[in-house]
Amino acid sequence: MPVNKISGGQQNANPHFIVSLPPGGTFVMPPGQGGAVGTFGNLATPQIGVGQNLTGQYMVHLGKHTHYQTYDPALQYWRTMNDNMGGMFFVSADGVNQRLANTTGCPIAALITNAGSGLTNGFNTVTVTPSAGGSVWSTIVGGAINTTVTITAGGTLYTSAPQLVFVPPASQGNTPYLLPTATCTISAGAINAVTVVNQGAGLVAVPTIKVIPQPGDTTGSGGILTVNATLAGSGTLLLMYPAGNTSATSGTIQTAAYGSAQTSVPTFTFSPASTIAATAIMNFTITGFTATTSGGGYGTGPGGIITGGVVAGTAANTNPSMDKGISTPIYPPINVANTTAIPTLASGFGGVNIQAIPTYTGIPNSTTGATTVAVQPPTVGGTNSTTFITSV
């Protein structure tokens, strides 16, 4: 991990810069001075001032609505590494595989509730068109494992449940795929049950499973697990996600796969036409409240809660890390006026990762019943986000 250099008792003169991202915007972290990949600030070398050469190592203070992402070459997808936005971290950048992203107001995934049938297996054999926003999507049809795994040998002397790591088949090549995940339990030192958490997608053959003892388990060994020889999900849409962008230029703010911020949830159409049904999972932030009906008779000290910001529905397949499990909604603090229960954002921060349009409910004082129920639907969308970066 990179660390800040000792300055010899002088103020740190290392270059720093500020990146403001609009909704849907991304910024690929630039490489160090003399890096072979990309340029920064339209200069031949990544430099922001006289004698201020970028090192490629950065201390990053994320904006409240900024994600840190790394590129997943297996899935050809930018994977978000921090669910709860904001915070500070160090990164060594190569100018290609690390970036910042402001996804507020944009779709970040989709819950597939009807996977269709009779589709052509593979990558991008199904085209997705959103009703608004211009987001760009990748799709995978087929190539999942079954939800059951055979315990060929339970092993012996495990003191805690071992880790299960799936290995893609040798024939996978460059075809995009999502590896499955699974957990297990033990009884009397042997594996006695396996639960498939993610079925995966896009596999061209059955993966294998490595059984790895937990750190500190010096005695457990011998576990052998076998995936069903027949893949599942053939001809059905297993994944759809914002497309990866491998041609990004370092140090350039871009708007790409996420499209533009929306104030409502876009819908999808699919080609070839099928029975596919999917709901966009958004990263909404609350921008305000619509004064539909002001409450009455709430008395002093009323409160209110925001709920319902998670997409409803049941997934057609088991890949929660790429649908509802992709984010955890964080609701903003609100102020509620006395008597009328009209809410306002307490700090200007509208929350993050709100997957669907939420609701607001006014709560009367415990000793006073409301004579008119407050109806104040939240308005949602995207917001700009600013990140501070220091080259160290």
pLDDT of residue 188: 97
Residue 167: inside a domain = yes
Q: Which residue has the tokens 């003191």?
A: 159
In angstroms, the Cα distances linking 154 to 146, 167, 189, 215 are: 19, 19, 8, 19
Secondary structure letter of residue 56 according to DSSP: S
pLDDT at 381: 97
184, part of any domain: yes
Q: Tell me the residue range of the domain where 154 lies.
A: 149-227
Distance, CA of 361 to CA of 231 (rounded, Å): 46
44-48, 249-253, 306-310, 330-334: the lowest-pLDDT one: 44-48
At residue 178 the predicted structure's pLDDT band, cuts being 50, 70 and 90, is very high
Contact between residue 373 and residue 286 where contact means Cβ atoms under 8 Å apart: no
Which range among 50-54, 71-75, 88-92 has the greatest average pLDDT? 71-75
Q: Give which of 103, 23, 17, 29 is closest to 252, Cα–Cα.
A: 29
pLDDT given at position 259: 93
**Rounded CA separation 53/51 (Å):** 6
What per-residue confidence (pLDDT) applies to 287?
94
pLDDT of residue 82: 82
In a domain, 124, yes or no: no
Q: What are phi and psi of 84, to 5 degrees?
A: -90, 110
Q: Considering only residues 164 and 94, tell me which one the structure prediction assigns the higher pLDDT.
A: 164
> Which residues are CB-neighbours of 183 under 8 A, at least 6 positions away?
161, 164, 194, 195, 197
User: Is residue 347 situated within a structural domain?
Assistant: no
pLDDT tens-place string over residues 321-346:
899 999 999 999 988 877 888 888 98
Residues 173-177, mean pLDDT to the nearest whole number:
94
Give, as one character, the DSSP assignment of residue 340. T
Is residue 88 very low, low, confident or very high in pLDDT (cuts 50, 70, 90)?
Answer: confident
Q: Are 223 and 162 in contact (CB under 8 A)?
A: yes
In this prediction, residue 35 carries a pLDDT of 45
Measured CA to CA, the distance from residue 143 to residue 200 in angstroms comes to 7
Residue 207 lies in a domain: yes
User: Does some domain include residue 193?
Assistant: yes
Q: How far apart are CA 229 and CA 138, in angstroms?
A: 27
- Percentage of the residues of the chain whose pLDDT score is greater than 70: 88
User: Which position has the higher pLDDT, 85 or 274?
Assistant: 274
Q: pLDDT value at position 93?
A: 87
The count of domains in the chain is: 1
Look over the chain and give the mean of its residue pLDDT values, rounded to a whole number: 87
Q: Look at residue 123 and tell me if it is in a domain.
A: no
Reference 291, options 358, 353, 222, 343; nearest CA is: 343
pLDDT in tens, 226-283: 999 999 999 999 999 998 765 566 677 777 799 999 999 999 999 998 899 999 999 9
Q: Is the pLDDT of residue 146 over 80?
A: yes
Q: Which residue has the higher pLDDT, 33 or 362?
A: 362
Beta bridge mates, 87:
62
What pLDDT does 44 receive?
45
Distance CA 291, CA 374 (A): 9
Residues forming a β-bridge with 190: 187
Please tell me the predicted confidence (pLDDT) of residue 204.
Answer: 97
3-state secondary structure of 333: coil
SS3 assignment, position 172: helix
- Whether residue 99 is predicted with pLDDT greater than 60 in this model: the reply is yes
Residues in contact with 10: Cβ distance below 8 Å, sequence separation at least 6, in sequence order = none
Residue 298 maps to a domain: no
Query: What number of other Cβ atoms are within 10 A of residue 317's Cβ?
Result: 21
Q: What are phi and psi of 262, to 5 degrees?
A: -120, 155
pLDDT of 127 strictly over 70:
yes
- Which three-class secondary structure state does DSSP give residue 322? helix
Q: Is the CA virtual torsion 63, 66, 72, 76 positive or negative?
A: negative
Asked whether residue 293 carries a pLDDT value surpassing 70, the answer given is yes
What is the pLDDT at residue 36?
A: 39
In the structure, what pLDDT confidence band is assigned to residue 38 with cuts at 50, 70 and 90? very low
The span from the CA of 178 to the CA of 239, in Å, is 9
